[in-house]
């Protein structure tokens, strides 16, 4: 038992040191870091017809007011010929921002003929804009 006590103490010391390193990593986050949020889309414009394997672009517009919202990315979940698209932006407080709109381009490339539904979801998924594209 006396021989295993130093080994047990060494293991405990090792785990305590590793926990302390994780705590230090959390403390390095700056208070003015940018957060990513979902935002509601105000409008979508793009083609209504295309061909198989032809990439098409849609101009997506969203409003912002008193918050700086820079485009981060789109997240697309596709089931069959319906795509649910969520817009993510970076958000920081901005005291001098004016009411304005911001735009980004969403690209879509159909792989088969048919009718595709592009559903741009709102912040809480209740406000949805649906764009339909026919692939010939």
pLDDT digits (tens, 9 = 90+) for 17-69: 554 444 433 333 333 456 778 888 999 999 999 999 999 999 999 887 666 67
Average pLDDT over residues 102-129: 90
How far, in Å, are 3, 39, 40, 68, 102 from residue 35 at the CA level? 52, 12, 16, 11, 17
CATH 2.60.40 fits 35-135, yes or no: yes
Q: Tell whether the torsion through CA atoms of 125, 126, 129 and 130 is positive or negative.
A: positive
Tell me how far apart the alpha carbons of residues 20 and 41 are, in angstroms, rounded to a whole number.
43
Please state whether beta strands 114-121 and 43-45 pair in parallel, antiparallel, or not at all (unpaired).
Answer: unpaired
Ordered by start, the domain boundaries in the chain are: 35-135
Q: Which residue shows structure tokens 């006396």?
A: 2
Q: Whole-structure pTM over 0.85, yes or no?
A: no
């Amino acid at each position: 038992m006396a021989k295993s006590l130093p080994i047990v103490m060494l293991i405990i010391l090792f785990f305590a040191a590793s926990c302390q390193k994780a705590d230090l990593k959390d403390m390095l986050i700056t208070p003015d870091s940018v957060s990513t949020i979902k935002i509601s889309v105000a409008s979508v414009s793009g083609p209504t017809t295309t061909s198989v394997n032809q990439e098409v672009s849609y101009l997506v517009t969203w409003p912002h007011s008193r918050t700086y919202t820079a485009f981060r990315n789109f997240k697309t979940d596709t089931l069959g010929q319906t795509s649910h698209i969520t817009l993510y932006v970076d958000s920081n407080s901005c005291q001098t921002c004016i009411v304005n709109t911001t735009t980004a381009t969403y690209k879509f490339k159909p792989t088969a003929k048919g009718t595709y539904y592009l559903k741009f979801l709102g912040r809480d998924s209740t406000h949805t804009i649906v764009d339909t594209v026919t692939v010939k």
